[in-house]
Amino acid sequence: MENLIPVLDDFTILQVTDIHEKEFGKNQKRLIKKINSIEYDIVVFTGDMLNSKRSNNYAPYYKLIEGINNKKHAFFVPGNADPAPYQIKQGKIEKHDFIKGMEERGVRFLETNYALPIGESLVRIVDFESSIISENRIEAYRDSTVDGSYTPYIRKQIENFKENLVLDNEEEDLLIALNHYPVVDRRIDLLHSDPYYNMREFDLLMAGHYHGGQFRIPFYGAVFVPEAYYDRGGLFPPQDRVKGLWEYKGIKQYVSTGLGSSDTLPFMKFRLFNTPELNVITFTTKK
Main-chain phi, psi angles of 184, to 5 degrees = -75, 165
* Phi/psi-derived region of residue 38, left when phi > 0, alpha when psi is between -120 and 50, beta in every other case: beta
Region 2-9 average pLDDT: 86
Yes or no: say if 214 and 263 are a contact pair by the CB < 8 Å rule.
Answer: no
pLDDT tens by residue, 251-264: 999 999 999 987 76
Region 192-207 average pLDDT: 95
pLDDT class of 273 with cuts at 50, 70, 90: low
E strand residue ranges, 97-231 = 108-109, 113-118, 121-127, 174-178, 204-207, 216-217, 221-222
How many other CB atoms are found less than 10 A from the CB of residue 79? 25
pLDDT at 161: 84
Q: Enumerate helices (H) and strands (E) in the chain, giving the number of each.
A: 8, 15
Q: HSE of 278 in the Cβ direction (CA atoms, 13 Å)?
A: 18
What is the C-alpha separation between 147 and 73, in angstroms, rounded?
34
pLDDT tens by residue, 13-49: 999 999 999 999 999 999 999 999 999 999 999 999 9
- What are the C-alpha distances in Å from 223 to residues 79, 186, 235? 22, 20, 6
Q: Give strand pairing partners of 11.
A: 283
- What are the C-alpha distances in Å from 31 to residues 20, 132, 184? 14, 34, 30
Mean pLDDT of the chain: 91
Q: Domains of the chain, with CATH numbers?
A: 6-283 (3.60.21)
pLDDT tens by residue, 221-242: 999 899 999 988 889 999 999 9
pLDDT at 55: 95
pLDDT at 231: 86
User: Which one, of 98, 84, 130, lies nearest residue 111 by Cα?
Assistant: 130
Q: What is the distance in angstroms between the CA of the first residue and the CA of the last residue of the chain? A: 8
pLDDT at 215: 84
pLDDT tens by residue, 107-144: 999 998 999 999 889 999 999 999 999 989 888 887 77
pLDDT at 283: 95
Yes or no: say if 114 and 132 are a contact pair by the CB < 8 Å rule.
Answer: no
**Greatest extent of the chain over all pairs of C-alpha atoms, in Å:** 58
Yes or no: say if 152 and 93 are a contact pair by the CB < 8 Å rule.
Answer: yes
Q: Give strand pairing partners of 251.
A: 248
pLDDT tens by residue, 59-111: 999 999 999 999 999 999 999 999 999 988 877 889 999 999 999 999 999 99
Region 165-193 average pLDDT: 91
Higher pLDDT, 163 or 24: 24
The residues, ordered by sequence, that sit 6+ positions from 110 with a Cβ below 8 Å of its Cβ are 75, 76, 77, 125, 126, 127, 178
pLDDT at 199: 93
- What are the C-alpha distances in Å from 79 to residues 4, 50, 102, 201? 31, 9, 14, 23
User: Which one, of 196, 107, 109, 125, lies nearest residue 164 by Cα?
Assistant: 125
pLDDT at 30: 97
Yes or no: say if 262 and 81 are a contact pair by the CB < 8 Å rule.
Answer: yes
Q: Give strand pairing partners of 215.
A: 272
How many other CB atoms are found less than 10 A from the CB of residue 76? 26
What is the C-alpha separation between 47 and 269, in angstroms, rounded?
17
